[in-house]
Amino acid sequence: MNKILILITAFLLTIQFSNAQTEKGSQTLGFNFGFGVGKTNESPGAQQTGDGSPFVLRNNNFTFGPLYSYFIANGIDISLALNFASISQTTSDNNFGYPVNYHDYQFSGTLYARKYLLYKNKFGIRTGPYISYGKGTTNFTYPPGDNFNDNSYTSHNLTAGVKLEMVYYASKKFGFAATLANLQYEHYNSAGGNQLNQNGNNVSFYTGTTALQVSMFYTFGGKG
């Protein structure tokens, strides 16, 4: 009998623990950060570099910002995230057209709607659509002898997509999330420097194996 009571008590505590995290009315505060490193070996044609010689592109990016979310229903939240991103690219010696150094700074805001699918509300996934607006400044440095002057330009982009994240609650109040996959469509325009005015669209897909994106958050509110 005592063992049964202990099991029932543990079960009830588990239910209470679970409901306190993603129930309607709960809120979270936290921050997100990301980091990525990449290297690409380029082999353009002679019309691009003058002689067709290969060169190497090295990319580094870092992101950071605060986030807030509110659960509008059990297991469903609306979240707002602000973000600062720093993206740099370094090019090995090349003969024409590619800057030696490229640096982009961007501020953005993103609105998410997400559904949580968790095992005992402790471990699982969350997924849903998002929309984001960003504004950035990009600086280019070109090799000596190129027909380009060092310059900078400003850009605006509007992004919409769907993100899949792994979620883990380490305790009743603290949780972590990491991006597993992201599919997005981006529309951008830029002006300034040698770029003149440009408009374009991009569709991209990436996974957590190509870039690390993690968030940490504190849960409060709700009935728990």
Question: What does the alpha-carbon distance between residue 26 and residue 188 come to, in Å, rounded to a whole number?
Answer: 35
CATH number at residue 30: 2.40.160.20
pLDDT of residue 212: 80
pLDDT tens profile 25-50: 999 999 999 887 766 665 554 444 45
Domain count, the chain: 1
Rounding to the nearest 10 degrees, give the CA dihedral for residues 125, 127, 133, 138. 50
DSSP-assigned states of every residue in 8-53: HHHHHHHHHHHHHHHSTTEEEEEEEEEEEEEEEEE---HHHHSS--
Residue 2: CB atoms within 10 A of its CB come to: 6
Q: Which domain holds residue 175?
A: 2-221
pLDDT of residue 3: 46
Question: What does the alpha-carbon distance between residue 143 and residue 141 come to, in Å, rounded to a whole number?
Answer: 7
Q: Which range among 43-52, 137-146, 161-170 shows the weakest confidence by mean pLDDT? A: 43-52
The owner of tokens 């709960």 is: 26
Q: Which range among 15-19, 58-62, 170-174, 176-180 shows the weakest confidence by mean pLDDT? A: 15-19
Q: What is the mean pLDDT of residues 65-90?
A: 93
Question: What does the alpha-carbon distance between residue 110 and residue 215 come to, in Å, rounded to a whole number?
Answer: 14
pLDDT of residue 166: 96
10 falls in which pLDDT band (50, 70, 90)? very low
